[in-house]
């Protein structure tokens, strides 16, 4: 792991909706916790889909990630308990959607999330131990909150579908990433692309995977399409809780092992 007292910070991002971004962020977080890792899941999306799976009742803006951007709070002040041992969450709030103008007009607008992570002592109160991972569930755009996430992160994970327009979306993300690396001397690196809702039976799926491999690493695991994911969300659970032995849940467990092995 990166350092004994410094968690690995990982952005999960794709500006295109419907590619399994939030599903990936929440199931990765749960699977990491079930692998005895101490994890913080940070919901940066004003739609609050990650938050709703762990905190069904809306939490006021002052106790959400909104406070990091608006009031410069430290992340450690905003941790909420979840039902998963080893997993804490910092929830989103609908007012995140109104922050772009505020951040754009501030000299430190690109760095507020990074500043909130710099404080020493982000520890699990129950164990007194530092967290191993911070997973950032980015909004489905490449705006200033996503830029904050990239600047704050060690790694970028890109969920993709094996579909015609995946390459266009990937190029936009990589262009943004290169600009951030150059302009802000950010250390973030691409960990890999994860193919979600994958159909192994089609030739086009493998062809798209092969084309993506020319640009960035691709995880060996492919996440199978399944109605069980939506069933799980309707019950307020992740697929890794709802049907642990299902094909899709097992895909996420295998993918999580690839993430751990790729970082350690």
What Rg do the C-alpha atoms of the chain give, in angstroms?
17
Least confident of 87-101, 151-165, 178-192, 195-209: 195-209
Helix (H) or strand (E) holding 175: helix 166-184
pLDDT digits (tens, 9 = 90+) for 243-258: 999 999 999 999 999 9
At 119 the pLDDT is 58
Q: Where are the domains of the chain?
A: 8-263
Of 170, 168, 207, the C-alpha closest to 190 is: 170
- Under a CB-based contact definition with an 8 Å cutoff, are residues 102 and 71 in contact? no
Locate 119 and state its tokens. Answer: 């404080």
- Under a CB-based contact definition with an 8 Å cutoff, are residues 189 and 46 in contact? no
At 113 the pLDDT is 97
Of 140, 176, 135, the C-alpha closest to 157 is: 135
Q: How far apart are CA 238 and CA 224, in angstroms?
A: 15
Locate 150 and state its tokens. Answer: 């990239």
Locate 81 and state its tokens. Answer: 């308990």
Give 136's pLDDT tier (boundaries 50, 70, 90).
very high
At 190 the pLDDT is 97
Give 218's pLDDT tier (boundaries 50, 70, 90).
very high
CB atoms within 10 A of CB 60: 11
Give 209's pLDDT tier (boundaries 50, 70, 90).
very high
Question: Three-class SS of residue 159?
Answer: strand
- Under a CB-based contact definition with an 8 Å cutoff, are residues 133 and 87 in contact? no
Helix (H) or strand (E) holding 191: strand 189-198
- Under a CB-based contact definition with an 8 Å cutoff, are residues 263 and 157 in contact? no
* Architecture in CATH of 8-263: 3-Layer(aba) Sandwich (3.40)
Q: Quick check: 1 pLDDT over 60?
A: no
Mean per-residue pLDDT of the chain:
92
Higher pLDDT, 71 or 200: 71
Report residue 147 CA to chain centroid gap.
13
At 169 the pLDDT is 87
pLDDT digits (tens, 9 = 90+) for 27-83: 999 999 999 999 999 999 999 999 999 998 889 999 999 999 999 999 999 999 999
Question: How many helical (H) and strand (E) elements, i.e. helices and strands, does the chain have?
Answer: 11, 8
Q: How far apart are CA 218 and CA 164, in angstroms?
A: 17
Q: Quick check: 150 pLDDT over 80?
A: yes
pLDDT digits (tens, 9 = 90+) for 86-133: 999 999 999 999 998 889 989 999 999 999 997 555 777 777 889 999
Say which residues have a Cβ less than 8 Å from residue 167's Cβ, sequence separation at least 6: 208, 211, 212
Size (the chain), residues: 264
Region 204-223: mean pLDDT is 94
Q: How far apart are CA 190 and CA 62, in angstroms?
A: 32
Place of tokens 């990936």: 24
Give 200's pLDDT tier (boundaries 50, 70, 90).
confident
Of 154, 130, 144, the C-alpha closest to 79 is: 130
At 145 the pLDDT is 97
Please tell me the pTM assigned to this model.
0.95
Provide, rounded to the nearest whole percent, the portion of the chain with pLDDT above 90.
80
């Amino acid at each position: 792991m990166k350092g004994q007292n410094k968690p690995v910070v990982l952005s999960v991002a794709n500006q295109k909706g419907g590619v399994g971004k939030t599903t990936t962020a929440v199931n990765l977080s749960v699977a990491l916790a079930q692998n005895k890792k101490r994890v913080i899941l940070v919901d940066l999306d004003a739609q609050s889909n990650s938050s709703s799976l762990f905190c069904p009742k809306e939490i006021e803006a002052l106790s959400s990630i909104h406070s990091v951007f608006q009031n410069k709070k430290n992340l450690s002040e905003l941790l909420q308990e979840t039902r998963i041992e080893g997993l804490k969450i910092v929830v989103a709030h609908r007012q995140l959607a109104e922050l772009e103008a505020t951040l754009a007009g501030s000299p430190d607008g690109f760095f507020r999330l990074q500043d909130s992570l710099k404080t020493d002592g982000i520890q699990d109160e129950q164990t007194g131990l530092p967290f191993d991972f911070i997973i950032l569930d980015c909004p489905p755009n490449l705006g200033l909150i996503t830029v904050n996430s990239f600047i704050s992160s060690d790694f970028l994970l890109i969920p993709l579908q094996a579909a015609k327009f995946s390459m266009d979306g990937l190029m936009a993300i990589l262009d943004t990433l290169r600009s951030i690396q150059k302009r802000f001397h950010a250390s973030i690196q691409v960990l890999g692309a994860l193919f979600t809702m994958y159909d192994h039976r089609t030739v086009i799926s493998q062809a798209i995977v092969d084309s993506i491999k020319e640009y960035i690493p691709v995880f060996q695991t492919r996440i199978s399409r399944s109605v069980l994911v939506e069933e799980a969300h309707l019950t307020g659970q992740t697929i890794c809780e709802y049907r642990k032995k299902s094909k899709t849940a097992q895909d996420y467990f295998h993918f999580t092992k690839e993430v751990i092995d790729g970082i350690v």
